[in-house]
Amino acid sequence: MTQIMAIGTYHGMDEAALSAELDALAIRSLKQLPPLGEATRAKILGVAYKGHLQFTGEMMDLLPNLRLIAKYGVGYDSIDVDSATERGIVVTNTPDVLSDDVADLTVGMWIAAGREMEAGINAVRSGSWARSGPPLAHKVSGRRVGILGLGRIGREIADRLVAFKCRIDYFARSPRDTPGWTYHDDPMALAEAVDDLIVAVPGGRETEKLVTAEMLRALGPDGIFVNISRGSVVDEEALIAALEGGVIRAAALDVFLNEPHVDPRLASMKNVLPLPHIGTATVETRNDMGVLQRKNLHEMLAGRPAVTPVNA
């Protein structure tokens, strides 16, 4: 009897494991949930969820015996956790196993934007290198970098930047135990203090448009803005205006407001390094994320507490 439902577009290795280990009933999107028969829906005790469509209380009510939503990913802004809690549904995510990958990519993006790697690649590919080299870029080592959100991922990013002789400033809800980094209790104060700004706060209502036009102005015409969190955290229109108007120097973005549909202005500007949300997209990390997601489902089926709950 199928007690687990897998919702989302999974990689083949996860699809196979969800089916083999948990006999999961797979659907591509939450939109396919309402048309399923009532009897099928009533059997479901756990959902393996991968997606950015909002898993609302209304959707949860279509699964009257649901006990657990196991999110594939550390961010759970696509799940209405309050509604889940009200219904006694545990929500889990996949923290830690992905922090290295996201931090590695962030630093890579920051260097690529600062050193204008894309222009260099284009010069080789187009043959324009033979006529004249690309213009000089800017040094990245030693810059003063602000981390907006010093959680697990923010911390990994900052630790890596220390190796690049960067001075670290950060914003978090409260000061953290850090090796001489500067704490700011206000995102604007952080933006004013630093050369570059990296967004590492979780997405969701609380952080919506946390990065404002004023903060980008404070960063200034030499500033690099990096976002590996969620597109919702920045006022995207303000970001586009700042990039078009030279208010900041460059942006490196792995996330967008309406992804996978990227605003064409962001996709085409030369001072934007756009990536298709690949922060965790390695075989190793995606494997670990899948294992942790399924582990939470196995524990629920065995009557044991979840391993990585967010609303316990």
Cβ distance to ligand 8YV smaller for residue 41 or 50: 50
Check if the beta carbon of residue 290 is closer than 8 Å to that of residue 70.
no
**30 — phi, psi (to 5°)?**
-55, -30
Residues 96-135, mask of contacts with ligand 8YV (x by CB under 6 A):
--x-------------------------------------
Does position 50 interact with ligand 8YV (CB under 6 A)? The reply is yes
Two tokens at 149? 């959100």
List the catalytic residue out of 230, 249, 286, 294.
Answer: 230
Residue 95 vs 187, nearer CB to ligand 8YV: 95
230 is annotated as an active-site residue: yes
Q: Toward ligand 8YV, which CB reaches closer, 37 or 260? A: 260
| Binding-site size, ligand 8YV (CB under 6 A) | 9
Minimum distance of ligand 8YV from residue 227's CB (angstroms): 12
Cβ proximity to ligand 8YV: between 98 and 191 the closer is: 98
**Residue tagged 């396919």 (tokens):** 32
CA distances from 297 to 66, 156, 176, 259 (A): 11, 28, 33, 28
Is 75 an interacting residue with respect to ligand 8YV (CB under 6 A)?
Answer: yes
Give first-to-last CA distance, the chain, whole Å.
27
Return the residues of window 224-283 that contact ligand 8YV according to CB under 6 A. 277, 279-280
CB of 134 to ligand 8YV, least distance (A): 32
Query: In terms of CB distance, is 261 or 304 closer to ligand 8YV?
Result: 261
Least spacing, CB of residue 56 vs ligand 8YV, in Å: 18
Residue of 297, 257, 311, 216 whose CA lies nearest to 50: 297
**Minimum CB–partner distance for residue 109 and ligand 8YV (Å):** 14
Assess whether the previous peptide bond of 309 is cis (omega < 30° from 0). Answer: no
Select the span of 66-74, 131-139, 157-165, 260-268 touching ligand 8YV (CB under 6 A): 66-74
Binding residue for ligand 8YV (CB under 6 A) from 33, 59, 73, 191? 73
Stretch that binds ligand 8YV, among 71-79, 126-134, 184-192, 259-267 (CB under 6 A): 71-79
User: From residue 56, how far is each of 51, 80, 81, 153, 273 by CA, in Å?
Assistant: 13, 5, 9, 27, 33
Residue pair 57/83 in contact (Cβ under 8 Å)? The answer is yes
Q: What is the C-alpha to C-alpha distance for residues 143 and 115, in angstroms, rounded to an integer?
A: 13
In the bound complex, what is the minimum distance in angstroms from residue 180's beta carbon to ligand 8YV?
30
CA dist., res. 229 & res. 256, Å (int): 9
Q: In angstroms, what is the minimal distance from the CB of 77 to ligand 8YV?
A: 8
C-beta closer to ligand 8YV: residue 50 or 184: 50
| Residue of 115, 259, 265, 298 marked catalytic | 259
Shortest separation between residue 110's beta carbon and ligand 8YV, angstroms? 18
Nearest to 49 by CA among 281, 311, 293: 293
Q: Rule CB under 6 A: which residues touch ligand 8YV?
A: 50, 72-75, 98, 277, 279-280
Q: Which residues are catalytic?
A: 230, 259, 277
